[in-house]
Amino acid sequence: MANNEVFSVEQIRAQFPLLQPSESKQPALVYLDNAATTQKPQAVIDVLVDYYTGYNSNVHRGAHRLADQATNAFEGARSTMASFINAPQKEEVIWTRGTTEGINIIANGIVKWLKPGDEVLVTELEHHANLIPWQQACEKSGATLKIAPINELGEIDLDKFQALLSPQTVMVAFSHVSNALGTVNPIVKLTKMAKAVGAWVLVDGAQGIAHQPVDVQDIGCDFYVFSGHKMFGPTGIGVLWGKSSLLLDWPVWQTGGEMISHVTYQTAEWNTLPYKFEAGTPNIAGAIGVAAAAKWLMDIDYEARHQYEAELLKYATSEILKIPGVNVIGQAKQKAGVLSFTLDQVHSSDIGFMLDQQGVAIRSGHHCAEPLMERLGLSGTARASFSLYNTREDVDCFIDALSKAKAMLC
């Protein structure tokens, strides 16, 4: 779909095999669990099949044609991802298994510099993946973990965030978009505030990467991490972007093959960027696949896509509020396609089960944000999350299924 074409959800949806009607999908699937993982377009599936059937090989060291072809595709994928997030150098793009591993690489390494009296600041919105690694880093180093609160709308309280920053703040980590509430954080403003006290900044982009344009130079952060499977790419692949000035001295995460330049029985020297962080055989197909997903996304006009997703979320929110007993959780002024809700006197898992029986796929539980749920006084929520291939018809099916579930459960 060229950039100058009008956004067409029908054309987009037609590119996703799993979403097409079939005899095996009875009733028809309404997929609203996109914050957990997105479906894959044919363009991504095709490059995976092409790799495994056409030039399957390991990379970098083979002395044959297949190895050259695989290496060129693998490193070409790195260049594509650098362009996708406007990284200054492709060597700053580190392949990981996903957002979680990317954060762990940085949190594990920061222990080299953390000491008692230092502080790490995160927010109440964070996924476990952007909380527990910092807990562990502080426990190992004696540093203090601080938590920036949110307001009643589910937004970071900027005044309190500012008040928690100090010259002792070494690292500040926050999500681009909350997976549990859909809140879009003002990441440029937050980064500037953190940089004013000399802190490093890591942005968890797992939810933002599929909904927001990402320019790491414009954001001004030091690290940006995300997963392929939430942006229409394969599972098991992700990207850690970091400033080369920091990554050059950052401690290695894993050791083994590929990440070394010279080894004796007594010593080892690390390879150059990006390879010092990529021990072992990488997820070659995953890298090629996520690059295909990035190219696919870049061919869709962002403003048209953003407007469509915003209108879909607005419609879904207005419709769900017509159901008595429904409470929408998280009403930030800026939200991505997440609709988190509760239904009076009904457990979220029961909602998920009843909707699944009607062919509607949502998520229920604490969404790997248990401390946030405790902060909100909830055991969990039901969560419908939308993507650019969802339609108003999907929303109508969801609302109808929820209404029927309420009638049966209440």
As annotated, the active-site residues are 368
Q: What is the 3-state secondary structure (H, E, C) of 65-115?
A: HHHHHHHHHHHHHHHHHHHHCCCCCHHHEEEECCHHHHHHHHHHHHCCCCC
First to last CA, the chain: 45
**CB-CB contact of 231 with 290 (8 Å):** yes
346: enclosing H helix or E strand: none
d(Cα 72, Cα 92) in Å, to the nearest integer? 18
Using DSSP's 3-state secondary structure scheme, residue 360 falls into strand
**CB-CB contact of 176 with 188 (8 Å):** no
Alpha helices in 270-321 (DSSP H): 284-298, 302-320
Q: Supply 382's token pair.
A: 């039901």
With tokens 């050259």, the residue in question is: 68
d(Cα 154, Cα 103) in Å, to the nearest integer? 23
CA 230 to chain centre: 6
Q: What is the DSSP string of 259-291?
A: SEEEE-SS-EEEPPTTGGG--SS--HHHHHHHH
Q: How far is CA 239 from CA 27, 228, 236, 282, 289, in A?
A: 36, 8, 11, 12, 13
DSSP state of 359: T
